[in-house]
Structure 1
Amino acid sequence: MAMNETREPTRRDFLFIVTGMASAVGAVASTWPFIDQMRPDASTLALASIEVDISSLGEGMSLTVKWRGRPVFIRNRTPKEIEAANAVAIEELKDPVARNANLSNDQPATDLARSAGDGRENWIVMIGVCTHLGCVPLGQAGDFGGWFCPCHGSHYDTAGRIRKGPAPENLAIPSFAFISEAVVRIG
């Protein structure tokens, strides 16, 4: 057969195509149980949001709760801590983005954008995982009086913004809302 000649499909061509399609469907059908078992179960989905009673947190006190397997820091900051955070210019920050799930992705990392806002600037809620290698920072420590990760020396200020050390980003703020004066819902 010459290169420029065409030929009619044969029964063998049809059988090759049908066999290939059947093999593809079989491969997908056999791997589906493995893929399906990776979905989170009901107990995990139930932890999608938690409600935390913060009525016992006085000024200058902190609470750590577990949400989705990660620590979350809740802090009732003092006026001095808020003042220190407000005194920092955005240009001085290593990460100028707020990293607040409640705001748009391009919000600057002002103290107000990092706090609960709306008259609750004293409250800060952050995921307590260092953005360098996932360690848990220590509260009210470090060069800026916020959080300090002793593993590799990352220093966060009182608004949870990275100020010194290898961490590339500010501590993340999860979606949260105050559902009453004494209860905050995370997630």
Structure 2
Amino acid sequence: MAAQEGNMVSQVGEDHSLRRRDFINIAAVSFAGVGAAAVVLPLVSQMSPSADVLALASTEVDISKIAPGQAIKTVWRKQPVFVRNLTPQEIAAANAVDVSTLRDPQTLAERTKPGKMNWLITMGVCTHLGCIPLGTGEGENRGPFGGYFCPCHGSAYDTAARIRQGPAPLNLQVPEYAFTSDTVVTIG
């Protein structure tokens, strides 16, 4: 009987020490988990875009006041964007070009939306060294092809914003955009 009581006391002591050991292990793992989260969360959150970039993720442009033959300059993601309402003559001039002769071959239809061929929307950054071409303002030099002219190194773009002359290797880039109504375009 005394041996049985000794075994019971021994088992109770072991059970008690097992529970204490388990508690200490769980507490240590929990503390390490909280510490890891405290280190990882700031690292992950600093990789997400800042508020000013998120605010510029897309921009809406009212195109109702842009007459045929006119262009405006707007800003998207801190870069200029040209929105041009092409005239039927400018569309005809762009379509008359033999695409196989172009450095960066693209048709006007590839650079515009179906049914909206008169609306040409491009980034306003020369593909040579990043200058801003002329051609959106009244009386600005549009170059020999009637589109845009980069004053930095002489790149000339046609009415479809395709590179025709000068050191620029590519056409002006066309950003992602969609017509949300007949008078509003969302860029981005």
| Alignment partners' CA distance in 1, 2:148 and 2:175 | 17
> What are the Cα deviations for residues 117-137 of structure 1, in whole angstroms up to 9, with x where unaligned?
x22111100000000000000
After TM superposition, list the pairs within 5 Å mapping 1:131-146 onto structure 2: 131-139=127-135, 141-146=142-147
Percent identity over paired residues? 58
Give the secondary structure class of the aligned counterpart of 1:146.
Answer: strand
- 2:77 is equivalent to residue 68 of structure 1: yes
TM-score computed with the length of structure 2 as normaliser: 0.72
- Seen in structure 2, the aligned counterparts of structure 1 residues 35 and 154 have a Cα distance that, compared at 3 Å, is farther
C-alpha RMSD over aligned residues: 1.9
Q: Which has the higher helix share?
A: 2
Shift of 1:37: 3.6
Instruction: Provide the residue aligned with 1:112 in structure 2.
Output: 109
| Alignment partners' CA distance in 2, 1:163 and 1:182 | 31
- 2:117 is equivalent to residue 121 of structure 1: yes
| Alignment partners' CA distance in 2, 1:70 and 1:38 | 22
| Alignment partners' CA distance in 1, 2:169 and 2:93 | 21
Aligned mate of 2:60, from 35, 51, 55: 51
Is the 1:71–1:127 Cα contact (8 Å) retained in structure 2?
A: yes
Aligned mate of 1:84, from 90, 93, 113: 93
Q: Which runs of 5+ in 1 are unaligned?
A: 1-28, 97-108
Q: Which runs of 5+ in 2 are unaligned?
A: 1-37, 136-140
| Alignment partners' CA distance in 2, 1:32 and 1:168 | 43
Instruction: Provide the residue aligned with 1:172 in structure 2.
Output: 173
Shift of 1:45: 0.8
Give the secondary structure class of the aligned counterpart of 2:93.
Answer: helix
| Alignment partners' CA distance in 1, 2:165 and 2:60 | 33
- Seen in structure 2, the aligned counterparts of structure 1 residues 152 and 31 have a Cα distance that, compared at 3 Å, is farther
Aligned mate of 2:102, from 74, 93, 109: 93
| Alignment partners' CA distance in 1, 2:158 and 2:127 | 14
Give the secondary structure class of the aligned counterpart of 1:40.
Answer: coil
Is the 1:75–1:124 Cα contact (8 Å) retained in structure 2?
A: yes
Aligned residues: 146
| Alignment partners' CA distance in 2, 1:31 and 1:141 | 52
Of the structure 1 ranges 87-96 and 121-130, higher mean CA displacement relative to structure 2 is found in 87-96
TM-score computed with the length of structure 1 as normaliser: 0.73
